[in-house]
Amino acid sequence: MDTTIVPCPAGKRGRNSSVILTDRLCEKRVAKRTKCYDRKCPGLYVSITAAGVATFSFKFTDRQTGKQCTGWLGVYNPETFTVEDARSKVYGFKGLGTGALAETFRDQKAAKARRGKMVAEIIEERIEWMKTLVKKPDGEMRPRMESWENTASHLDRFIRPRLGKKLAMEVTKHDIATLSNDIVAGKFGKPSVSNARHMRKAASGLFKWAAEAGRDYVTASPRINLPKLDPEHPRTRVLSEDEIRVFWHGLDRDDLPWDRRTRLALKFELVTMLRSRELLGARRHELFDLDGDNPRFEVPLKRVKKRRVIQQPLSDLALAVIEEALTSVDQQFVFESPMYKGQPIDRKAMADALRGTKHEKNKDKTKTPGLCELLGLKPFTPHDLRRTAATLAGDLGFDDAAIAKCLDHAVTKKGDTIVPTVTGKVYNHSQRMKEKRAVLDGIAMELRRIIRKPIAKLWSKEGSASAA
């Protein structure tokens, strides 16, 4: 064997200690970085940081240069890389010539340099990678991850402030679990299980991406075996008939601070069951057969959550909303922004209109009251309008499969029959227009029945009311 193990100087050995390394020792918490050399395997030592990360390394002398070298072996993991694994690796290295051994560790040194990146640096690279434009199936160039802004928000709001200055390879599942608990406890604002769940998802994507071949910033993702979060309770808000009546007629008032097209968009969500993002970008050329027997709205896949084209039939109520919203032949967007001509209403406009807006400096002070407050309704969101419409359809006797199609949900069950998911994804591309039209026309008829009923008092100040 031509590998020489050089013992540490007596002074240093006494300071850092020479012991028989054990897994228990590697898991010991220390106040500052500590090195422990192994008596059983000369040259092997473990470096334990205050964060609880134990890293194995191996010292040897390169006979060609006469210099002492240090090779990085790996991070201690009780399941995948223990003390015995580190010893076995060193024994294997000792069987190599010093030239081959030095070359091996030179390669490892380059890899370690990559692993020396801080979390904040990797977050920057990840965001750039996510928002890079690539060619999509429809031929358009769009960001690699079209929801990158949401992921970037969770990386910047939660992970960067807490872990940004740490080396990525030193982040442990304890760090992620602690951060998750702090989010739930309200240390990052309002307590939120949802934010903790989104943070975990963003962290998982970040570290899996960082561990991919070619990057090797980390050896494995620390987001493993984390304790389960408490279940999130799904929203169940559904507007009653009285609330629908107050809401529909209230949207026609002349004294409300929110622009008319935003209010029409809220009506449109109720009568079409489409998501806000899908309907707000509606263009004139996406509307078909408006004067015929089968009017429909085709939503391009780039605006659809599941990235598939939606063909949504239009009821008479939906057509009435479109007719009022399109005020000129030059208007290309159905719900055009009142501030920016030629642009659609902002994606947050409908939610802001319902809940109102707050002052930037004083969040407790209302800047503009929301429609719910102005109309005396219990708060709800635009998405609750979809749930309300679906509930109306269910009360009318339509089956869940037909309602799911209108909501653009995957249909996996028809009555008591389970439908394989692959059937809808790969083989059956039918839009079920007849079933969907029946549901949406039924909802329109039910809404007309509801809004035609008189109400003793809709609002304090008299305004005009219309049933479209």
Q: What is the pLDDT of residues 91-114, one digit of tens each?
A: 888 777 656 666 666 656 655 565
How would you class 456 by CB atoms within 10 Å of its CB: exposed for 0-12, middle for 13-18, buried for 19 or more?
Answer: exposed
**Calpha distance 65→422 (Å, rounded):** 62
Q: How far is CA 419 from CA 178, 411, 427, in A?
A: 41, 7, 12
Looking at the structure, do residues 258 and 304 belong to the same domain, yes or no? yes
pLDDT of 290 strictly over 90: yes
**215 Cβ partners below 8 Å, 6+ apart?**
114, 209
**Calpha distance 370→356 (Å, rounded):** 4
To the nearest 10 degrees (0 to 180), the angle between helices 241-250 and 433-452 is: 80
Looking at the structure, do residues 280 and 384 belong to the same domain, yes or no? yes
The angle subtended at Cα 29 by Cα 154 and Cα 81, nearest 5°, is: 75
Strands 18-19 and 34-38: parallel
CATH (domain of 44): 3.30.160.390
pLDDT band at 460 (very low <50, low <70, confident <90, very high): very low
The angle subtended at Cα 427 by Cα 431 and Cα 442, nearest 5°, is: 20
Question: What are the strands of the beta sheet with 18-19, ordered from one edge?
Answer: 18-19, 34-38, 44-48, 54-62, 67-75
Lowest mean pLDDT among 136-140, 280-284, 330-334: 136-140
Give the number of other CB atoms < 10 A from CB of residue 150.
13
Looking at the structure, do residues 172 and 318 belong to the same domain, yes or no? no
Q: Are 393 and 409 in contact (CB under 8 A)?
A: no
Please give the tally of structural domains in the chain.
3
Picking from 80, 113, 146, the residue at the C-terminal end of a domain is 113
The angle subtended at Cα 349 by Cα 234 and Cα 341, nearest 5°, is: 150
Residue among 221, 213, 205, 215 nearest 114 (CA): 215
pLDDT, tens digit (0-9, with 9 covering 90-100), for 148-157? 999 999 999 9
pLDDT given at position 416: 55
Looking at the structure, do residues 127 and 245 belong to the same domain, yes or no? no
Looking at the structure, do residues 324 and 196 belong to the same domain, yes or no? no
- Within a domain: 219: no
pLDDT, tens digit (0-9, with 9 covering 90-100), for 357-369? 876 666 566 688 9
pLDDT of 431 strictly over 80: no
Looking at the structure, do residues 101 and 150 belong to the same domain, yes or no? no
- Within a domain: 466: no
Looking at the structure, do residues 256 and 290 belong to the same domain, yes or no? yes
Looking at the structure, do residues 185 and 324 belong to the same domain, yes or no? no
Q: What is the span of the domain harbouring residue 179?
A: 119-210
- Within a domain: 350: yes
pLDDT given at position 12: 43
- Within a domain: 48: yes
pLDDT, tens digit (0-9, with 9 covering 90-100), for 215-251? 878 877 887 778 888 888 778 899 999 999 999 999 9
How many DSSP H helices and E strands does the chain contain?
A: 19, 14
Looking at the structure, do residues 422 and 384 belong to the same domain, yes or no? yes
Per-residue exposure over 292-302, b if at least 16 CB sit within 10 Å of its own CB, e if not: eeebbbebbee
Strands 67-75 and 141-143: unpaired
Looking at the structure, do residues 280 and 410 belong to the same domain, yes or no? yes
* % pLDDT > 70, the chain: 83
- Within a domain: 311: yes
Looking at the structure, do residues 21 and 46 belong to the same domain, yes or no? yes
pLDDT, tens digit (0-9, with 9 covering 90-100), for 447-456? 999 999 776 5
- Within a domain: 236: no
pLDDT given at position 102: 64
Q: Are 5 and 25 in contact (CB under 8 A)?
A: no
Q: Are 38 and 79 in contact (CB under 8 A)?
A: no
* % pLDDT > 90, the chain: 54
- Tokens at residue 219, please? 């050896």
- Within a domain: 309: yes
Looking at the structure, do residues 100 and 127 belong to the same domain, yes or no? no
CATH (domain of 285): 1.10.443.10
Work out the average pLDDT over 427-436.
Answer: 68
- Within a domain: 150: yes
pLDDT given at position 377: 95
288: three-class secondary structure by DSSP: strand
Residue among 194, 200, 153 nearest 178 (CA): 200
pLDDT band at 302 (very low <50, low <70, confident <90, very high): confident
Mean pLDDT highest for which of 24-38, 50-64, 92-106, 267-281?
A: 267-281
pLDDT, tens digit (0-9, with 9 covering 90-100), for 62-83? 777 777 878 788 889 988 899 9
Q: Are 11 and 30 in contact (CB under 8 A)?
A: no
Picking from 193, 210, 227, the residue at the C-terminal end of a domain is 210
pLDDT of 419 strictly over 70: no
Picking from 86, 113, 140, the residue at the C-terminal end of a domain is 113
Q: Are 192 and 71 in contact (CB under 8 A)?
A: no
Strand partners, 70: 59
